[in-house]
A and B are shown apart, each in its own frame.
Chain A
Amino acid sequence: MPPFFEPPHMPCEECGASVAKDEREQHVCDQTRRLDYVMFRLRDEVGEFDEELRAYLASPHGRFDAWLAEREREQGR
């Protein structure tokens, strides 16, 4: 029995592109589109990471790690 309702287009689960029902088998993800889609879906985590990194670098431990990394960079290690 056919489904009660099935949109003629559905987004590709990998890249989010709208794909017609009769083109699903042939669909190949555009890699740029796929990357945009993945990054968009991770935007909250990326935003949180930036906040966490900023807070860490402002902490005593983070400031020390930054100082150490800079010293090692200058020493060419």
Chain B
Amino acid sequence: MGTETNKEIIRRLAEEPWRGNYDVVDEHVADDYIGHDPSIPEPTRGPEGFKEFVRTYQAAFRDARVTVEEQLAEGDIVATRWTGRGIHEGELMGIAPTGKEATVSGITISHLRNGKVVEEWTNWDTLGMLVQLGAVPQPART
């Protein structure tokens, strides 16, 4: 697969499940997929793990959306900078619903094999989300 095709696959995987299209996950996530994210205790595994991760946040955030802002690709690796947004109306990580809208940014490095993503490394602004939801206090100005 060319780098442009790989970028398109990852863009679709990043955005479309949040709009309810889970078929793209079955189409482009490998059975042995592993997703690493410091905000979750165990890696996400396989297409079902991928969907479960999305569903967890969809249950917590009404109108949850991810938008791809920028991508770089080299060989079978794609780096994606994205923005996520949603209205917190369900419990998340023990945080009671607040009704507040949160916006977070993140970067995901995706490794592909034959048109399917096999491994991803994600870092996103978890602290920013917790501050926006009031779950942790914003550090005071000095």
Contact = CB atoms under 8 A, between A and B. Distances in A.
Q: Do A and B bind each other?
A: yes
Interface of A: 1, 3-11, 16-18, 20, 36-37, 40-41
A10 B132 contact: yes
A5 to B, nearest CB: 5
Nearest to A13: B100
Interface string B67-108: 000000000000000000101010000000111111101000
Nearest to A20: B103
A5 B127 contact: yes
Contacts of B41: none
Contacts of B125: 7
Given A16-B100, A16-B101, A9 B141 contact: no
A15 to B, nearest CB: 9
Q: State which size class the interface on B falls in.
A: 20 to 34
Nearest to B97: A40
Contacts, number: 55
Contacts of B105: 8
12 contacts: A3-B139, A7-B132, A7-B138, A8-B128, A11-B101, A17-B101, A18-B103, A18-B132, A20-B103, A37-B100, A40-B89, A40-B99
A20 B104 CA distance: 11
A18 B102 contact: yes
A6 B128 CA distance: 8
A11 B128 CA distance: 11
Contacts of B131: 5, 7, 10
A11 B138 CA distance: 13
B97 A5 contact: no
Given A18-B101, A37-B99, A40-B99, A5 B138 contact: yes
Given A17-B101, A37-B99, A41-B99, A9 B132 contact: yes
Given A5-B127, A7-B132, A8-B128, 5 more contacts: A3-B139, A7-B128, A11-B98, A18-B132, A41-B99
